[in-house]
Amino acid sequence: MASSYDAKRSYYHLKMPLRNIKKNGIPILKSINFRPSDFPVGWGIDNIVGDFDKCQYICGVCQGLARIPMEISKCGHCFCEYCILELIKHNKSNMGSRGLSCPYCKQLFMISSCSHFEKISNILFKSYNKNLVRCIYECGKSYDPERMNQHECWICPKRPVECPNLNCKIILPDSEMEKHLIVCEHRLIYCKFCRLPKLWNDSNHNCHKEFTRTIESNIINSL
């Protein structure tokens, strides 16, 4: 079963050019290619505004408010998209022709019987989206689940991001990453002679060798 992540709410790698670019420097990039261990599972009791016990859309795997919810048509129980896909992946070899059992009621179901709320009913999705959740990064914002998904992935200034520079493993809040990229020990700049990228402090850069290597690499990739 293919994942339904799209460009608006993807958890996968994104690179965005920043505005402050130093003279002779390459465009600085930042990355969101980092997922804490509890993400992208559902929102827990501390992140729900209101009575968590009365919430109708609790994921049967992570026991949080379902994130990008999916429903099993046979029994009507819902799950985070991530949780149900992980459940299917880890039990695929044992499924056989009978399918998997629902973690809630143990009723058997097939992969084809799992659907996203918005595909089942717009009324169901609107009902789910009436819930209010707090940002897991404690920035103080509260939104409906759909908007909070986008906020936590793309917008929140406190979300942890990993430096995209090769060999740099520093992880910082998004609001601090731009300053780090300007002084990162692993940052790249353009050589003022060959105009190819190199480490900012690389005194052994050989323009001829790098130019030849780049051409050979492009030829190989075009084959």
pLDDT of residue 166: 85
Over 60: is that where the pLDDT of 174 sits? yes
Q: Which CATH superfamily is domain 33-158 in?
A: Zinc/RING finger domain, C3HC4 (zinc finger) (3.30.40.10)
Q: pLDDT tens digits, residue range 175-203?
A: 898 888 888 999 888 888 888 888 888 98
User: Which residues fall within 8 angstroms of residue 145, CB to CB, at 6 or more apart?
Assistant: 43, 65, 67, 69, 128, 129, 131, 133
- Portion of the chain with pLDDT greater than 90, in percent: 29
pLDDT tier, 96 (very low <50, low <70, confident <90, very high otherwise): low
Evaluate whether 188 touches 181 at the Cβ level (below 8 Å). no
Q: pLDDT tens digits, residue range 22-78?
A: 545 555 554 444 444 456 789 999 999 988 888 889 998 999 999 999 999 888 899
Q: pLDDT tens digits, residue range 118-162?
A: 888 889 999 999 999 999 999 999 999 999 988 988 889 998 888
The terminus-to-terminus CA distance of the chain in angstroms comes to: 32
More confident of the two residues 178 and 83 = 83
Domain boundaries, the chain: 33-158, 191-222
More confident of the two residues 92 and 192 = 192
pLDDT of residue 27: 54
Interatomic CA distance for residues 174 and 16, integer angstroms:
12
Question: What is the pTM assigned to this prediction?
Answer: 0.70
